[in-house]
Structures are given as C-alpha cells and as structure tokens.
Structure 1
C-alpha cells in the first residue's frame, strides 16, 4: 500500500514510519506545519511544530530513505482547533483540542489530502490498536501500554477512517519504542515527549486565553447567589477547579469550594462544596461511532478524560446524541469534555458532553 506516515519529529512517529516501511509498504513521510509562526527551537517538552521538529523528522526520513514533505496546514489548524478552543472556553465549556485535531486535521484534512494524491492510508505514532474482523471491517482498541494508551483521543474516528489508518505502535510499550529507536540509530530516541496543549507552549492556559479574550471582570458567587470573590474572566475557569479561586469569604462550614458552574451569559463563576460535583447522567452531542451505532441500550465503559478512569455505564444513541448513565458518580465533569465509550478494549464511539447531572430519580430508586 502507498502510505503517508505523519512524522512530528518525535520518537513515536519515527518508529511508526520505520515499521510501516519494514512491513513492505510504499511510505512517504509528511510533517504537518501547524503553526503560523513556528519557533526555531523547542524550549521545553511542551509545544510542537518547531523548525527543529521538522528537521528531526527530515533526518529520520533520510535515514529510512523515504521521500519527505512538509504540508502547511496552519490555517486549517487555527480555524478548526485553536479558534474552536477559544470559542468553547468563551461559551463556558472545557474542550479537548487533541480530539478536535485528530478529527479535523490528522484524520480529515491529512487523510483527505493523502487520498486525493493517490495514497491508500495514513500511519501515525499513536498508541492504539486496529483489529481486523473476519468480515474485513476494522475495530479500534486500547494499546498494550495502558499508561500511554491514546485510544481516547482517537474516539472521534469513524469506521471509514479506521479502514485507512495504521497505528503500528499499539502492541508495544514506550520503553520498547525508545529502545528500538536507539537500535535504529535515530537521534530522537531520547527526545522528550510533547505535552498537551501543544499550541500553549508554557502550559499556562489562563494567561493564553486572557491574551486573546482580554480581562472580563465578574463575580464569583456561592450557590445561594452570595458574592464571595471576583474573577478577571469566567472563561478561565472549569468545573471541578479548586486552585486559584482566591475567594474573599471563607465557607461557613469551613469546607473547600470548587467551581460547580460557569455562566458565560452573566460572566459568573459559581462555587460550591465537593458533593455538588458528582454526576452520573451525561448527554453528549456530535456522536461519532467507530462502527455501527449502538442498537438500544448497551453496557459500556465510559471515560471522560484522556487518562481518566473507565466507569461501568449504560448508553443509548438518539440521533446525533448519546445518553450515558454511569454506575457510580464522577466528579468535575464539564460540558465540552468528551465521553468515549468502550466495550472491553474496543472503542465504541464518542460524543462531546453537553450536559452532566445527577440522576436523582435513578439514585433514589437504587437506594430503595
């Protein structure tokens, strides 16, 4: 097969490209230029798409003897990922830009361009596994290395996209990948991993958002409406947050308080006690299925963070929505996060959480 190997300049994508070549595929390396003003050098483990990264990817491609190109997708990345990220926070939601990047860039823009140029598939260095069923269709599964598993951020892929995707690292642990890279003589064998969020190099999301949205002073209120503090922008807060609240009035019961709601319409942040954070009922929009949509109510595992716990649940599809009932409560679930559903190690699909609540009727019934 003719395969585009997405090469970020890191160790994972380098080994992924090498493995695709070893498997007998006709491989071309492609580095995605996602920044409109790329830095020359990487200043930390955060960030991506520096000129240094592109150079590292090119050196690996040269060692493998494969063609190498840089595809400029900075404008598409800005519109579909960065601006979406800002808009979601402005609306009081907490997005996951990695899922959006996989959906809109790596397995839409990149894959579409590859297919238009006559390639058959795209390979990346994600830690996940694609399993082919007897009928030739494919399933997305968790990686062998649980600590590095990235199936959560790939939960937006459709069955058609899976049919044209390769994840060569899914059966290997990260230490083994670094060892293999060293044996192949790759300079990037010891290169530090990148950390989210890639376009916020210093990791200070609040400062980054403030630079783009400006200060928007408002009230922090208790659940009874009492003003207990001030903020400089409700967009900088997320459900479940405890640090950085700087409340002027301590709680009467002395218990710590958390963000329980962000109200962008009134520019208000609502805080309350930890017991208000527990939810067991989720509604997700923009449902995407890695195969057929669930038929009726099905038992699944639900995960709401990239490295969060998987909770037993039931779920059912309703058009573009999915409804999820968790068997136990989760804390700090915010609108805008993604819920990814599993059947064992298999990814069933995903949705963007639009509402999270405590199903008090179900709770009361279960306790009777």
Structure 2
C-alpha cells in the first residue's frame, strides 16, 4: 500500500525523525558538519562517524586534508555542540589496502588514478556503510554535493543543483543498492555560501573552514614524493623521447609525468610546444609530441557501474553525455556495450588528454541524471 506523503519524514521514512537513526560520515569539514547539525536540529537520532584513514600523528601537522587529526577534533566539536554521539574508527589498514596501494601502482604503470573515487567506492560506501547498518541506522548521510531522487523504478542519482560544486564524477561507482541506503542532504543547495550560512546558524566552529584542495594523503599535490616513499626506487631515470624517435633529454622518473602535461618537461629551446602523449613505463620513457596527438575519440571503458533502469547490455548503444575529466562538462557520446561491465565510448567531438586511470562518467543527454560510468583502461 502506498504511504501518504505527509507521513514520510525528510529522509523518506514513514516514522518520526526521533525514531529514525542516521549515521553521518563526518570528515571534519563544513559540508558534513552541516549535514549532521541540520539532521540533529530536525530531531533525528544522529550518530557521527569519522574515519582515521592514515597515521594520526603525521596528519596533525598537515593542513587542509580530509580526516587528518585536526579534522577529527573539529568533527568531535560539532558533535558536542549539537549533542549527538561521535565515534572515530581506525580504517588506516583498510584505506592503505583499498586506496593508497592501488594509487601508487597505477601511477607507476603510467595511469592517472583518481583515489577519491576508490575511497568512496571501497571505504565510505562499502565498509563504512556496513558499519552504519551494524549500528542499526536506517540510512547513512554524507556531505557530498549530489542529489538522490526517487524515480519511477528506483532511487536515482542526479547532479547537484550547484554545477560548481557537483561531485557526481567522484560518485559514479555508487551502486543502486548503496543508493537505496544513502542520503545527500546538500545536493539541492544553490551555492557553497548557503552551506556556510547554515553552519553559522548552528554556531559551528567550522563555518568558515577552508575547503580541502589536496588528495588527503598527498601533501601539496606532491604525488612523486608520496609514491617514492611507498615504492622505493620508483623514480628511476630515463629518456624523454619525441614521438618521431628523437631523444630530447632525460627525466628523473616516469612517476613525475602525466599524459597531457606540458609544463615542467625540462626540454626547452624547441620550436613547438610539446605535451606528454604516452608513458612507456617498462622502457622508462616519456613520449612527447604535438597537441594534436592527444586528441581522442574512442575511449575503452571497463568496471562499469550502470544506474540505468534497463540493463546496460540490453541495447547495442546508448546516446549519453560523458565526462572524461572531473573539470570538463559532459560531452555528447555513443556508449556501445561490449559486456555488462565493458564498453567502447565514441566521443562525437574529440577530447584532449584522455588518460588511463581516469573515470568516464555517463549522464542523461540534456538532464541531470547520472547513469554511472567506468574506468578508462588503456591509451587510445
């Protein structure tokens, strides 16, 4: 029997907020803090959980990183202010096994990994979600800027109302089953300023806390130093070679380069601007060439998570918008399934710098719905 809309609370449950337990994943930043504070103010049975993802002592000295020691302290203060319990869970080993090790290995294999997606997929929305269920929570809420909407068939994932804050690229691997349990209360807000205003209204100490800019375990964006610590000897020198075969110089390790890079190649004095077009890890060679060599129309994708209503492989092709980088808008494409988890994506207009290790995320052509996506797995 259909429930009367008036009997359903703001999280979609047919019971009072006080009888609805929600675990809030709290990073210590303003976004997740506002989610927890708003739900507590509405009368929900809120339980805050913060994950310690890497060495606590080392983290204390680093600013602007998610789940560092200072952030754990900030999350705890928010919980004290709003009067709900808060727990810190040690996920350091899980995080290293599920995220950091793959990040290092992927980089050394010449890919450009996106560890934030793997963290959501393998730690927050898998392990932490199971912990929330163990705590008898009805759902888990996060501070991500994305919308969960009820469609005709099931819960759907939609881009955030604020296109500048939309995090759908980083959440494409959220499964339909996870989406049933997750809530994203900030997805409808028009701006980040609106979030900060809510934080101030609740008297939260983090109201004006700066956003984190770095990957949490990569200080100041220095990937190379992190990988050298994780994989000693990874920075073996080699040659910088033009696509036509000319040796142009030497480098101090392939791990210092990414496909599409132009600056910092150390091969000045040439008449044409050159870009990294390929990384030959086995030969320790960085291949460079003119910008047109970066242009790609065919993108192979695997590990696809499909959020459409009909099975992915039920059609020979899907006409969708796709993002091949987080900073680019969706572009028109034809997605041709090879199997339920693999596809060939044909971009109607070629893109530059499509790199293995990046995500390819699927969107409704003109709408806001996210249809999932997959991983770009070899150079085109």
TM norm structure 1:
0.91
Between the aligned partners of 2:264 and 2:211, the Cα distance in structure 1 is: 28
**Residues 1:351 and 2:351 aligned together:** no
83-92 or 111-120, which deviates more? 111-120
- Corresponding position of 1:7: 26
Alpha-carbon distance in 2 for matches of 1:76, 1:52: 21
Q: Does 1:265 align with 2:282?
A: yes
Pick from 103, 112, 120 the counterpart of residue 94 of structure 1: 112
CA displacement at 1:309 relative to structure 2: 2.1
Would the aligned equivalents of 1:222 and 1:270 in 2 still touch at CA under 8 Å? yes
With over 3 angstroms needed to count, the CA separation of the structure-2 counterparts of 1:38 and 1:155, relative to structure 1, is farther
Q: Is the 8 A contact 2:337 2:343 kept in 1?
A: yes
CA distances 1:102-161 after superposition (whole Å, capped 9, x unpaired): 0001101100222233223211000000001244x1001010111111111010101001
Residue number among 350, 356, 359 corresponding to 1:335 in the alignment: 356
Of 128, 143, 164, the residue aligned with 1:110 is 128
Distance change (3 Å), C-alpha of 1:314 and 1:209:
same
Contact 2:214 2:220 in 1 (8 A): no
Question: Is this contact kept in 2: 1:132–1:139, CA < 8 A?
Answer: yes
1:19 to 38, 44, 60: 38
Counterpart residue number, 1:302: 322
Greater Cα offset, 210-219 or 17-26: 17-26
> Counterpart in 2 of 1:224?
244
2:293 pairs with 1:276: yes
Provide structure 2 residue ranges, at least 5 long, that are not aligned to the other structure. 1-19
Residue 162 (str. 1) matches residue 207 (str. 2): no
Q: 1:33-87 deviations in whole A, cap 9, x for unaligned?
A: 1012444646433x22222211110111112211110011111111111111001
The 3-state SS of whatever aligns with 2:356 is coil
Distance 1:42 1:310, change over 3 A: farther
Q: What's the CA shift string for 1:258-286, capped at 9, x where partnerless?
A: 00000112111100000100101111111
The whole-number CA distance in structure 1 between the counterparts of 2:36 and 2:173 is: 23
Q: In structure 1, what is the Cα distance between the partners aligned to 2:27 and 2:379?
A: 35
Question: What's the counterpart of residue 122 of structure 1?
Answer: 140
Aligned to 2:89: 71
Stretches (4+) displaced over 4 A: none
Secondary structure, aligned partner of 1:170? coil
1-structure distance, mates of 2:42, 2:63: 34
Which residue of 181, 184, 205 corresponds with 1:187? Answer: 205
Aligned residues: 352
- The whole-number CA distance in structure 1 between the counterparts of 2:31 and 2:151 is 26
Q: C-alpha separation between the residues in 2 aligned to 1:38 and 1:282?
A: 42
Q: Which SS does the other structure have where 2:48 is aligned?
A: strand
| 1:362 alignment counterpart | none
User: Displacement, 1:211?
Assistant: 3.5
Which of 28, 47, 51 is 2:47 aligned to?
A: 28
Cα distance in 2 between the residues matched to 1:205 and 1:339: 22
Asked whether the 8 Å contact 1:36–1:75 carries over to 2, the reply is no
**8 A contact 2:304–2:372 mirrored in 1:** yes
Aligned counterpart in structure 2 of residue 171 of structure 1, from 185, 188, 197: 188
Over the aligned positions, Cα root-mean-square deviation in angstroms equals 1.6
Shift in alpha-carbon separation, 1:25–1:133, aligned structure 2, 3 A: farther
* Structure 1 runs not aligned, ≥5 long: 358-368
8 Å contact kept, 1:130–1:162: yes
- The Cα of 1:231 is off from its aligned counterpart by 1.1
Query: Structure 2 length as normaliser, TM-score?
Result: 0.89
SS in 1 for 2:27: coil
Q: Secondary structure at the match of 1:80?
A: helix
